[in-house]
Structure 1
Amino acid sequence: MPTVTIRPAVEADCATILRFVRELAEFEREPQAVKATEEDFRREGWGETPVFEALIAELDGVPVGFALTFRNFSTWEGRSGLFVEDLYVTPDARRYGVGRKLLAAVARRAVERGCRRVDLSVLDWNPARDFYGRLGFRHMEEWMSYRLTGDAIRALAESDADEPAAG
């Protein structure tokens, strides 16, 4: 049985993280949607004000997956949490418990930091939904995700440019 190791990502892992992001986008049927570069990951993960952390999973010393997280905040809990932006394990490594070990490492970070929850999103057709359920993640059926991107962000930002901010 191969040895699975989970370790914190380091700046030298940026190319590996980008490769995994591209493989995940391919799996999610949106390979053209990835605009990130190695420099983006370097700046946002290891720059002056890091906004994410990542864990790298290795199988006998070879990277086979990653989990990328960032902090969020619950006003109801009054505590921060961790949001799993991406979790990816290469198809050949999935039978070795790599995903479970990655999420266990995320959970340990959450506990160590006093986080009250770990959140993630998953596509409705993704068979990993059963995996998350077996680990104890609860599908939040009553919550629906919304997203504002690109020109829509700009349009909204400019729509009230002459009006004072509420507050």
Structure 2
Amino acid sequence: MPSVTVRPAVEADCADILRFVRELAEFEHEAHSVKASEEDFRRDGWGEHPVFEALIAELDGTPVGFALTFRNYSTWEGRPGLFVEDLYVTPDARKHSVGRHLLSAVAQRAVERGYRRVDLNVLNWNPARGFYDRIGFRQMEEWLPYRLSGDALAALAAESP
């Protein structure tokens, strides 16, 4: 049985992180949407003001997946939480519980830091929804995600005095 390990990402992992992001985007039929570069990840993960953290999953020492998180805040809980922006495991590694190992490590970080929750989004057609249900994530039926970006973001920003 192959050995699964999860470790904090280091700056040298930026190429693997970008590869995983591109593979995830391909899976989600959005390969054309990836604009990020290794330099972006270096700046935003290991620069002067890091805005994300990542974990790398390895199978017998070979990187096979990652989880990228950032801190959010719940005004109701009065505590921070972690938002999982991306979770990806290469198809061949999925049968080895790599995703579960990654989310367990994310949960451990949250608990150790006194955070009260871990949030993520999943596409409605993604078969991983069953996986998330099995490990205890619950779909929020009443809360709908909204996003402001592109021209609409610029137009609203232009209204600010």
TM superposition score normalised by structure 2: 0.99
Match of 1:28 in 2: 28
SS across alignment from 1:55: strand
Structure 2: segments with no counterpart, 5+ residues: none
Amino acid across the alignment from 1:120: L
- Counterpart check, 1:131 vs 2:131: yes
The Cα shift of 1:156 comes to 0.1
How many correspondences in the alignment?
161
SS across alignment from 2:65: strand
SS across alignment from 1:16: helix
Amino acid across the alignment from 1:29: H
% same residue: 78
Matches of 1:89 and 1:34, distance apart in 2: 18
SS across alignment from 2:140: coil
SS across alignment from 1:140: coil
- Counterpart check, 1:72 vs 2:43: no
Match of 1:50 in 2: 50
Return the index of the structure with the highest Cα Rg: 1
The Cα shift of 1:151 comes to 1.6
**Following superposition of structure 1 onto structure 2, how do residues 2-151 of structure 1 map, counting pairs within 5 Å?**
2-151=2-151
Match of 1:165 in 2: none
How big is the alpha-carbon RMSD for the aligned residues of Structure 1 and Structure 2?
Answer: 0.5
TM superposition score normalised by structure 1: 0.95
Matches of 1:90 and 1:68, distance apart in 2: 15
Match of 2:154 in 1: 154
Amino acid across the alignment from 1:92: D
Match of 1:164 in 2: none
Matches of 1:82 and 1:133, distance apart in 2: 18
SS across alignment from 1:12: helix
The Cα shift of 1:160 comes to 3.6
Amino acid across the alignment from 2:22: R
The Cα shift of 1:105 comes to 0.2
Matches of 1:90 and 1:160, distance apart in 2: 44
The Cα shift of 1:152 comes to 1.1
The list of structure 1 runs, each at least 4 consecutive aligned residues, that deviate by more than 6 angstroms after superposition, is none
Amino acid across the alignment from 2:25: A
Matches of 1:3 and 1:157, distance apart in 2: 49
